[in-house]
Amino acid sequence: DQYLEPSTVETVSQYACQRRTTMENHNQIFTDAFAILAENAEFNESEGPCLAFMRAASLLKSLPHAISSSKDLEGLPCLGDQTKAVIEDILEYGQCSKVQDVLCDDRYQTIKLFTSVFGVGLKTAEKWYRKGFHSLEEVQADNAIHFTKMQKAGFLYYDDISAAVCKAEAQAIGQIVEETVRLIAPDAIVTLTGGFRRGKECGHDVDFLITTPEMGKEVWLLNRLINRLQNQGILLYYDIVESTFDKTRLPCRKFEAMDHFQKCFAIIKLKKELAAGRVQKDWKAIRVDFVAPPVDNFAFALLGWTGSRQFERDLRRFARHERKMLLDNHALYDKTKKYLKKKTTNNYLALNDVCSDLSEWHYKG
């Protein structure tokens, strides 16, 4: 029995894509702290620390038990001196002073508030903060600021959009999208992706991949879908980003590789049941993302848009470092051979291959 002992000690992979992903987080007290520190690092454009905190949070989320003493940290990857110090603080005092400092920080609070507006990124938030603003009311009252169409929608639907989207709402949106797409292309493929595909109970938006079985036909989908939603009177905002897909380009090495598919960031008006006797509007504005990849790239687009962001990041890192391949939302490339690796017969099967083991991919010239 003594000899069996070592094999029962699990080794935890440094890659999120090689860890069991669960909806159950036994270490939320720590991961909440890391999320705040990661966000603050992001606001300060400290990429390294930001990534380190996100990695640590992802690792702790995957553990089947709660960390109850610093001894539990032995042998775990992705934890450096900084992250360990945070965990030890929380173990000892129930909270971490560094996190408390961030939460009280004026800049952190204000940048967090400003970037919570749809269409407001870090650069814009900083600009407003430097003007001395601290509330959305102050920002909106400044006549010197020119707001983008996106930001105007962001302010207009702020309360609805900042409230979480629940599963039932995502399903209702899914039904509308599905039915509307069917009217345009009966054989179209509509797939719910993002957090709701991962089984999350709530999210900040609803993500869909839409394509046609016939290559090239997908280019009409988004414009026609938008037209139909507009005619139904439920399209509150949209921004179609045209495809910039260039097959000769090798994938981007950056962590958050943006893809080149045609996509649309929208806000849709979802009818809701009213509680009896209450005076309120009978709809909720919901953020919806549509992506229309060609069917050839569908498997990789689905893999890339399912998330989580950390999972995607680590999947790319795994491909690069452990398999000498490059993975992005379009395809899997062999770094040494520079050929596109792609199965043309069945994209659904291809996706399963990628998920199960990148090494099982056979080279096809």
- CA distances 117 to 26, 105, 111, 289, 330, Å, are 31, 19, 10, 16, 30
Closest CA to 207 of 126, 264, 152, 156: 264
Amino acid at 52: A
Distance in angstroms between the alpha carbons of the first and the last residue of the chain: 51
Residues 6+ apart with CB under 8 A from 30: 57, 60, 67, 86, 87, 90
Radius of gyration of the chain from its Cα atoms, rounded to whole angstroms = 23
For the question of residue 314 being annotated catalytic, the response is: no
Residue 194 within binding range of Mn ion, rule CB under 5 A: yes
Q: Which is nearer to Mn ion, 290 or 333 (CB)?
A: 290
Copy the structure tokens of residue 309: 């962001």
For the question of residue 296 being annotated catalytic, the response is: no
Amino acid at 225: L
Q: Which is nearer to ligand TTP, 91 or 166 (CB)?
A: 166
Q: Which of 207, 259, 328, 353 is catalytic?
A: 207
Q: How far is the CB of 164 from ligand TTP (least distance, A)?
A: 8
Q: How far, in Å, CA of 110 to CA of 132, rounded?
A: 10
- Which positions from 206 through 235 interact with Mn ion, judged by CB under 5 A? 207
The window from 51-59, 75-83, 168-176, 286-294 that contacts Mn ion (CB under 5 A) reads 286-294
Question: Exactly one of 119, 154, 203, 294 binds ligand TTP (CB under 6 A); which one?
Answer: 203
For the question of residue 89 being annotated catalytic, the response is: no
Q: How far is the CB of 133 from Mn ion (least distance, A)?
A: 16
- For residues 34 and 54, the answer to whether their CB atoms sit within 8 Å is yes
Question: Exactly one of 115, 124, 262, 329 binds Mn ion (CB under 5 A); which one?
Answer: 115
Q: How far, in Å, CA of 124 to CA of 165, rounded?
A: 25
Q: Which is nearer to ligand TTP, 66 or 258 (CB)?
A: 258
Q: How far, in Å, CA of 255 to CA of 46, rounded?
A: 14
Q: Which is nearer to Mn ion, 118 or 361 (CB)?
A: 118
Question: Exactly one of 27, 62, 180, 329 binds ligand TTP (CB under 6 A); which one?
Answer: 329
Q: Which is nearer to ligand TTP, 31 or 329 (CB)?
A: 329
Q: How far, in Å, CA of 112 to CA of 213, rounded?
A: 42
Q: Which of 160, 205, 259, 328 is catalytic?
A: 205
Q: How far is the CB of 346 from ligand TTP (least distance, A)?
A: 22
Give the residues lining the site for ligand TTP (CB under 6 A): 194-195, 203-205, 207, 258-259, 289, 304-305, 307-309, 312, 329
The contact set with Mn ion (CB under 5 A) reads: 115, 194-195, 203, 205, 207, 289
Give me the active site residues, please.
205, 207, 289
